Amino acid sequence: MSNQGYDEELREERAYVAGLYARLDRERAVAQARYHGALGQTGLTPGERETDVRCRSREAARLDVADNSLCFGRLDAVSGETSYIGRIGLFDAENDYEPFLLDWRAPAARPFYVATAATPENMRRRRQFRTLGRKVVDFTDEVLGRPQAGERGDAALLAAVNAPRGEGMRDIVATIQAEQDEVIRLGHQGVLVVEGGPGTGKTAIALHRVAYLLYTHRERMSRTGVLVVGPSPLFLDHIGRVLPSLGESDVVFRTPGDLVPGLHVTAEDPPEVARLKGSLKILDVLSAAVADRQNVPDEPVPVELADVTVELDADLAAGARLEARRSGLPHNEARAVFREHVTAAVAERAVAKIGEGWLTRADRGAWADLRADVLDELAEHEDLDGTLAALWPELTPETLLAPLYMSPRRLEAAGADPALFRADGAAWTVSDVPLLDELADLLGRDVTAERAAARRQTEEDAEYSAGVLELLKLDREEMDEDVLLAAEHLLDAGDLADRFVERDTRDLAERAAADRDWTYGHVVVDEAQELSEMDWRTLMRRCPSRSFTIVGDLAQRRSAAGATAWEPMLAPYVADRWAYRELTVNYRTPAEIMAVAGALLAEFAPAARPPESVRACGVRPWSRRVADGEVQDAVDEFERDEAGREGTSVVIGPPGVPGTIPPSATKGLEFDAVLVVEPERILAGGARGAAELYVALTRATQRLGVLHRDPLPAVLAGLAEAGSPARSGHRRFL
């Protein structure tokens, strides 16, 4: 294309995209007006109004997120038809809803990502825009249908992967590649496992798959929302803007430590303890620990009644305990069964003792009448109530698990490993979360107590409302007959109490995040190789439909309780009904850095295959040996160097090194420049340490440096000796 032809087409594309933005602005104004109208409307029930407001709010939000890169390209079909592809769909309501702009998730937009010279999908040309704000500044064309270089759309792709990183993760809708698109749009309705090495886009693919599923199954999934589970708060902050930028807000972001609402993780378990807690064998321990809290008295307990005293002994309590356990109810709900059987047995003993010599069971009427009187007395018997509460206490997951950890006797009674002992039972760890979640089901709720509390609340509300009505009453003597319609004529105290019930105005994500029993339409699990068997049990409980997108890399596993293979983790829940896809192209890590990381991978995981880097950056990794007192100065020098560059940087090191963050905190993140401090100390953790160093080495998109005090680990030292001197004289290229 000549320069003149290019300039003319660029002007035309700018005009078309400007028209799309003008239409977007008009639709935004209409959506905002409808939203404010919904807020002020009357004549609807609170539920109807709330539904309408949320619907209007969602539409307004969908249009608001589209400002950045509204349109990122177009497709020219062999038939001559042209389609523009963008972040959302815009349609001509006056012309049979012909699309001005196709949503990237729509089936008609798929060739934009998968068409190649070999398989053109009936397309003649793919055009990709480069935009700045609302303006198209450049475009690149691929002519499809005949052999040519650049089948991946390399110009747009390489511009994206080479661009400096910002504070958060970017969406990839403009540069999705065919390998990625196949996974995003996969029609599999169950569990999908996506495995790939560093930089293969696992996280981006999972998030875009969520956006695609919400688009294609909106009615079903929007009712329950999506749960995204990631390894750390830093990671969730990093990815948190992607789905909102794609117009999706019904999403809850959580770490494994946040899956029990209100719980705060403050400690970390040693690897062996984490392994014990992560195994399904801990289920037997938890069941035994619950059973251990269902007691019988060591000595008979006297129950004093008005006419007689009877004993509650071990045999009587054991019989009641057996009946309660046979009920199959959770511990707290079975309390009522236990109490009922104990009370009935005590009443029988009391009646027999009171009627000794003059009353027999043959006299059924008199026996039943006396038994009813005794039961009424026992119902108000505070001492018996206290005894029963001690024998079969109401428990929460926390009040069971914390004392268990703190008591060698309780641990032994539950068949637990003594290694689970800790002095501060409530110093919760991530490994405790699935145990507490499991106990929530084993213990259940105390239904009797909840009903009593609900009754008390209703009575209090009615009493309060009655007082309000008294204040609302008007002096009838000062009112004429036409206005003699006082508040008490319109509603009674019960009606008014109902009006004081608090309406839940939270959006779906807020309600789901606060509700431990909420079940989601879909769950995304990132860095899934770190999750234990018990973690998976917790997550499966959150999604009965078993609709999961699972992404991870077994080679990066650091948790002693994590996965060494996917099948053992998934088979108990979905058998063989899960799909597996592997990603092989590294879009993040340049070839120079991946060569270093790949050598380490071959050392500790020889069966693993490193992903193939799609690009080189032209900057070779470097190493520098420093003395004990020079580490901080070297870190400061690195940070000064990077401060003058565009993009992001990070210093990664083993725990205890000032100014660094541990490799585990950077999982799933990416930076333009990375400095790894004292890799020899990171490696000291064995296989876990090797996996952590592999994570650290693969976070950089452009520049990688290594500081070491001791000699470099052998797998790195050999590469360093093969390199050339760095420009500063005291650095060596890795």
Q: Average pLDDT, whole number, for the chain?
A: 84
Say which residue, 455 or 249, is predicted with more confidence: 249
Query: Quick one: which of 559, 549, 524, 552 has its CA closest to 278?
Result: 559
Query: Alpha-carbon dihedral of residues 588, 594, 597, 598, nearest 10 degrees?
Result: 120
Task: Give the integer Cα–Cα distance in Å for 225 and 214.
Answer: 9
pLDDT at 704 over 60: yes
The two three-digit tokens of residue 433, written as one number = 């979360």
pLDDT digits (tens, 9 = 90+) for 142-168: 787 644 434 344 544 455 555 565 555
pLDDT at 730 over 50: no
Query: Quick one: which of 138, 201, 136, 193 has its CA closest to 170?
Result: 201
pLDDT the model gives residue 462:
62
pLDDT digits (tens, 9 = 90+) for 285-321: 999 999 999 999 999 999 999 989 999 999 999 999 9
Task: Give the integer Cα–Cα distance in Å for 305 and 303.
Answer: 6
Q: Residue 619 — pLDDT band, cuts 50, 70, 90?
A: confident
Beta bridge partners, 613, equal 586
H or E segment to which residue 83 belongs: strand 82-86
* DSSP string covering 24-50: HHHHHHHHHHHHHHHHH--SS-HHHHH
Beta strands per DSSP E along 514-641: 522-525, 548-552, 578-583, 585-586, 612-613, 622-625
Neighbours of 418 (CB within 10 A): 8
The two three-digit tokens of residue 667, written as one number = 């999982």
pLDDT at 240 over 50: yes
Beta bridge partners, 725, equal 732
Contacts 24+ apart (CB under 8 A), 265-271: 265/428, 265/429, 265/430, 265/432, 265/433, 266/427, 266/428, 267/424, 267/427, 267/428, 267/429, 268/429, 268/430, 269/429, 269/430, 269/431, 271/559, 271/560, 271/688
The two three-digit tokens of residue 205, written as one number = 């693919």
pLDDT the model gives residue 159:
53
Beta bridge partners, 529, equal none
Are 443 and 400 in contact by the 8 Å Cβ rule? The answer is yes
Q: What is the mean pLDDT of residues 479-490?
A: 47
Query: Quick one: which of 573, 514, 545 has its CA closest to 213?
Result: 545
The two three-digit tokens of residue 489, written as one number = 């004529």
Identify the three-state secondary structure at position 55. helix
Task: Give the integer Cα–Cα distance in Å for 402 and 424.
Answer: 8
pLDDT digits (tens, 9 = 90+) for 497-523: 554 455 556 777 888 889 999 999 999
pLDDT the model gives residue 256:
95
pLDDT the model gives residue 305:
94
Q: What is the mean pLDDT of residues 336-345?
A: 97
pLDDT the model gives residue 523:
95
pLDDT digits (tens, 9 = 90+) for 176-234: 677 788 888 887 778 999 999 988 888 888 888 888 888 788 777 778 889 999 998 88
| pTM for this predicted structure | 0.75
pLDDT the model gives residue 224:
87
Query: Highest mean pLDDT: which of 255-269, 441-455, 476-490?
Result: 255-269
Task: Give the integer Cα–Cα distance in Å for 130 and 156.
Answer: 8
